Amino acid sequence: MDKRAKRMLKRLDSDGNGTIELAEMEEKQGGMRMFDRMDENEDGVISQEEFDAKKGKHHRKEKRNSHDE
């Protein structure tokens, strides 16, 4: 995980437990949608792995029906 991602995770992780919970994202603008996208296994928590995997991907245009990967 690179430094920038780490810092971003730290900022989002307001209780400092190393993962991002929905409540922590809810406070941010657009956070819930972002949370949904990042929580790959839908366990309600964004782990560092999930965060790392998804960072940089959320610059895409938001289109629900694009299956171009």
Binding mask 25-64 for Ca ion (x = CB under 5 A): --------------x-x-x---------------------
- Least distance CB 43 / Ca ion (angstroms): 4
**Structure tokens given for 53:** 């995997």
Alpha carbons 57 and 42: distance in angstroms, whole number: 18
Using DSSP's 3-state secondary structure scheme, residue 31 falls into helix
- Could you tell me the sign of the dihedral formed by the alpha carbons of 35, 36, 39, 44, in that order? positive
Total of residues contacting Ca ion (CB under 5 A): 7
Cβ closer to Ca ion: 25 or 68?
Answer: 25
By the criterion CB under 5 A, which residues form the site for Ca ion?
13, 15, 17, 21, 39, 41, 43
